[in-house]
Amino acid sequence: MADWAFDSIFYHVYPLGLCGAPARNDFAAPPVERLEQLTGWLGHIRGLGCNALYLGPVFESTAHGYDTADFWHLDRRLGTDETLKRFVATSHAAGIRVVLDGVFNHVGRDFWAFRDVQANGQGSAYRDWFAGLRFDGRSPNGDPFTYEGWHGHFDLVKLNLANPAVREHLFGAVESWIRDFDIDGLRLDAADVVDLDFQRELAALCRRLKPDFWLFGEVVHGDYRRWANPQTLDSTTNYEAYKGLYSSLVDRNYFEIAYALNRQFGPAGVYAGLPLFNFVDNHDQDRVASHLGETRLLYPLYLMLFTMPGVPSIYYGSEWGLMGRRKHGDDSPVRPAIDLAAGPGLGAEPALADAIAKLAGIRTGSAALRRGTYRQLHVASEQFAFARELDGEAVVVILNSADAPIEVAVPAPRDGEWRDLLNGGTVGAAGGLLTTVVPAGWGRVLTASSERG
């Protein structure tokens, strides 16, 4: 396992959107080095406290990046292979690891092998590269054959990952990404429908080439351990917690997220020890600020994200409270082009970025928050408290999403003075209770004072 993931804070970018690439690729056009724009973001990313960068799809594609045309080269709308090589090297020099999207379940209709099938029909050497490809009917796109599309989307042609030639082609591409671009990991798109034997073989290849390579998969439903285990991936997306993180605030019901976290990471937690990839929005979901109604709730939301077990991720622009909702299947409203200098003025809470940077610093300085156990201490409609502990370090997190301060008393792992890492000052614990007033729409992050070790 890539141990560094536990100590990481990710920044997630959808490059084709942020960099303002055309919506569709003109495969005859010369490359334009739009990816270079991201170099100017690296200082901001580090300033937020992030030390890892997850880039959405960057390889040659027809439109949105998940419709790959060529796995071996950077999308010309973003630049050349040298552009990506320079960007990864510059990111590494800034102390930022780089993880790319690995889209292996399907390709676009402009994928070269699919075009060969269109041109040569049953005589194509690549007819067995695609799942369910048959010549006894017509596709919805008018081809004289049928094939499987991802979730019925026939612009996304499902690959036959059981075909050794397909695996050889994809694994060769991955080897080139590691060798030529020096990437640090992959996020497997649609991992929940990608053949598990393929995932095991991919994992073995990546770890042989780079022992600390990190693999995590996009999984929405199911038992994450099916994908995240010593033979396959290191982690998955934590969709189970995703909705509860914001709906607990909207519905004034911390019991929702409390139940999920206890099931996942509590004393009998099914995912204890797994660095699940935690997020509150991403390129496929509405911006979380658009869900909340009251943008003041972004502050307790990110406080939870940075103190719960797992690996936190920030989606570009959301650090300023950027709004955005998908419309009738159109993802572009949540994948906008952003000029960094103008970014803070585009969001509803421009000061949120400073709060996130503070939370990131607290997390980075606490092994218990990064790697410790999880234990629920108190839950009410608008208040929630839990403890994170590791090797004698104890941290108590108390959240208050209400619009007024409130006094709460929660079980204390130990009596004595506790330092508030978030707001300063100390809080005393006596008789096994920590009693304190918690600020409105915020919280406290308490650790045993240095006098007590």
Residues 365, 63: Cα–Cα separation, whole Å: 41
Report residues of the chain scoring pLDDT below 70.
1, 449-453
Domain boundaries 372-452, corresponding CATH code = 2.60.40.1180
Rg (CA), the chain: 23
Q: And the tokens for 264?
A: 């996942």
Hey, where are the domains in the chain?
3-105+161-364, 372-452
Residue 155: CA atoms inside 13 Å, Cβ hemisphere, count?
8
* Superfamily name and number for 3-105+161-364: Glycosidases (3.20.20.80)
Question: Are 378 and 416 within 8 A, CB to CB?
Answer: no
Q: And the tokens for 121?
A: 């029909």
- CB-CB neighbours of 108 under 10 Å: 22
Question: Are 147 and 131 within 8 A, CB to CB?
Answer: yes
Give the distance from CA 202 to its chain's centroid: 20
Q: What is the DSSP string of 412-445?
A: -SS-EEEEETTT-SEEEEETTEEEEEEPTTEEEE
Write phi, then psi, for 419 (nearest 5 degrees).
-85, 140
Give 214-252 as a 3 state SS string.
EEEECCCCCCHHHCECCCCECEEECHHHHHHHHHHHHCC
What is the side-by-side order of every strand in the sheet holding 10-13?
235-236, 214-217, 185-188, 97-102, 52-55, 10-13, 311-315, 277-278
Q: What mean pLDDT is reported for the chain? A: 97
The gap between the terminal CA atoms of the chain, to the nearest Å, is 31
Question: Are 238 and 279 within 8 A, CB to CB?
Answer: yes
Write phi, then psi, for 97 (nearest 5 degrees).
-80, 155
Question: Are 2 and 185 within 8 A, CB to CB?
Answer: yes
**Cβ partners under 8 Å of residue 345, min gap 6:** none
How high is the pLDDT of residue 1? 63
| Among 152, 76, 154, 59, residue whose Cα is nearest residue 114 | 154
Give the distance from CA 395 to its chain's centroid: 25
pTM: 0.97
Residues 10, 314: Cα–Cα separation, whole Å: 6
How high is the pLDDT of residue 325? 97
